[in-house]
């Protein structure tokens, strides 16, 4: 039976489908992350070059964020999400078959470009439905991404000893694409609520780049400091545990699993917590307690790895768990804050935030890789912990 779509009402089915968009995204694009050792082995590079290659994918994301907001505004979220997902999983499926570092770099940059389009389109949909239904979706939407990452980490933990890297990634990429296409089709009426402006200018100019830089510098600084832990954990957790703590592949994946589990707990409980106290209160708790505990865990674990290996593993696990809790609510709260503070289309506001953050984050990750090269991964983990603590200085900005 045909029915008219109610823009002011969010059904349970629509809510689940919106969350699934991000859960499938996390499940698909993080399939290779728990198997970083296999990727590094394929490329035959050292830690420093590996870090640079992984980080430079942000170049594609940076250029993507210059235009992804405008593209969404001009063509609509549904079309952009369809194209982005197709490119995204197509590029991702090639990763385990690459053995030349510069070819991986090209693919990784292209992947970053597709990811920026996916993010802009999906975030634009969520913000539009939040405004129309007066319901807070962002924290659990991003928490759904963490659930996808958790599930793909658990799957990697179970099958890594038995399934090849290529078979693992290719299968997940194909399944993720098919599921995404199904969800996009099921949400076709929801996408119709996102405003479009077909006159939006897509000309590539230096002015366009300048206009893509968020002038909300304090908010960008707090956001970048707070989420750096998330990027470092994704890039380095399994490597530091396997190489420097001499853990098995499954144990190394298990530590990353703990980090993602903590992010899920933080993001899924955010709406409940905010109902009982202010966003500012919980941001301060997350940044100060999460950052301090992770700092202590990382550094004491590093110091004890040779004298008491089991205790060192426990301490490192505590560090990653509290790092995940601390960083979990930064992205959803700051993303909503930038939309509230900006007069622009939500897709434009989000893209500006992520473009500016992406440029700064790329520099930070390159610096992190350089420090890893002259010291060690475990020693370098002090950096994201300190930055997470530092983001507490910008909490008030997110509330204005």
Q: What is the pLDDT of residues 269-313, one digit of tens each?
A: 887 888 888 888 888 999 999 999 999 999 999 999 888 989 999
The whole-number pLDDT of residue 206 equals 47
Question: For residues 218 and 384, what is the distance between their CA atoms, to the nearest angstrom?
Answer: 18
pLDDT at 215 exceeding the cut of 60? no
Question: For residues 330 and 347, what is the distance between their CA atoms, to the nearest angstrom?
Answer: 19
Structural domains in the chain, CATH included, are 12-399 (1.20.1250.20)
The whole-number pLDDT of residue 4 equals 65
Tell me the average pLDDT of the chain. Answer: 85
pTM: 0.76
Check residue 305 and report its DSSP letter: T
pLDDT (mean) for 194-209: 51
Residue appearing with tokens 């969404």: 72
Question: For residues 163 and 138, what is the distance between their CA atoms, to the nearest angstrom?
Answer: 35
What does the DSSP assignment read for 113-167?
Answer: HHHHHHHHHHHHHHHHHHHHHT---HHHHHHHHHHHHHHHHHHHHHHTTTS-HHH
Asked whether the beta carbons of 152 and 172 are under 8 A apart, the reply is yes
pLDDT at 1 exceeding the cut of 50? no
Question: For residues 197 and 199, what is the distance between their CA atoms, to the nearest angstrom?
Answer: 5
Asked whether the beta carbons of 76 and 191 are under 8 A apart, the reply is yes
Residue 178 burial (C-beta neighbours within 10 Å; 0-12, 13-18, 19+): exposed
CA-based end-to-end distance of the chain = 46
Task: Give the CB-side neighbour count of residue 168, counting CA atoms within 13 A.
Answer: 27
Confidence of residue 200 (pLDDT cuts 50, 70, 90): low
The whole-number pLDDT of residue 201 equals 52
pLDDT at 46 exceeding the cut of 60? yes
């Amino acid at each position: 039976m045909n029915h008219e779509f109610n823009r002011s009402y969010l059904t349970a089915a629509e809510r689940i489908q919106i969350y699934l968009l991000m859960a499938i995204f996390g499940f698909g694009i993080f399939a290779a992350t728990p198997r970083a050792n296999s990727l590094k082995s394929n490329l035959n590079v050292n830690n420093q070059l590996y870090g640079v290659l992984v980080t430079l994918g942000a170049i594609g994301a940076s250029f993507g964020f210059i235009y992804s907001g405008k593209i969404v505004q001009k063509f609509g979220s549904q079309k952009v999400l369809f194209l982005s997902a197709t490119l995204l999983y197509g590029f991702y499926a090639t990763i385990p078959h690459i053995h030349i570092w510069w070819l991986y770099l090209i693919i990784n940059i292209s992947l970053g470009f597709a990811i920026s389009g996916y993010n802009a389109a999906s975030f634009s949909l969520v913000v539009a439905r939040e405004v129309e239904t007066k319901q807070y979706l962002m924290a659990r939407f991003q928490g759904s991404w963490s659930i996808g990452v958790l599930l793909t980490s658990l799957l990697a933990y179970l099958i890594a000893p038995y399934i090849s890297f290529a078979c693992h990634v290719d299968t997940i990429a194909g399944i993720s694409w098919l599921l995404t296409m199904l969800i996009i089709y099921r949400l076709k009426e929801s996408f119709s609520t996102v405003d479009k402006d077909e006159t939006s200018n897509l000309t590539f100019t230096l002015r366009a780049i300048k206009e893509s830089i968020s002038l909300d510098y304090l908010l960008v600084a707090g956001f970048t400091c707070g989420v750096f832990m998330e990027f470092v954990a994704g890039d380095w957790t399994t490597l530091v545990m396997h190489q420097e703590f001499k853990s098995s592949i499954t144990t190394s994946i298990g530590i990353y699993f703990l980090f993602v589990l903590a992010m899920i707990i933080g993001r899924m409980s955010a709406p409940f917590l905010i109902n009982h106290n202010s966003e500012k209160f919980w941001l301060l708790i997350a940044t100060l307690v999460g950052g301090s505990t992770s700092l202590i865990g990382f550094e004491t674990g590093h110091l004890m790895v040779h004298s008491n290996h089991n205790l060192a593993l426990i301490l490192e696990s505590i560090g990653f768990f509290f790092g995940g809790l601390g960083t979990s609510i930064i992205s959803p709260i700051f993303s909503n804050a930038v939309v509230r503070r900006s007069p622009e289309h939500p897709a434009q506001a989000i893209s500006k935030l992520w473009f500016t953050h992406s440029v700064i984050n790329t520099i930070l990750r390159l610096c992190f890789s350089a420090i890893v090269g002259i010291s060690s991964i475990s020693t370098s983990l002090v950096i994201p912990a300190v930055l997470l603590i530092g983001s507490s200085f910008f909490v008030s900005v997110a509330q204005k």
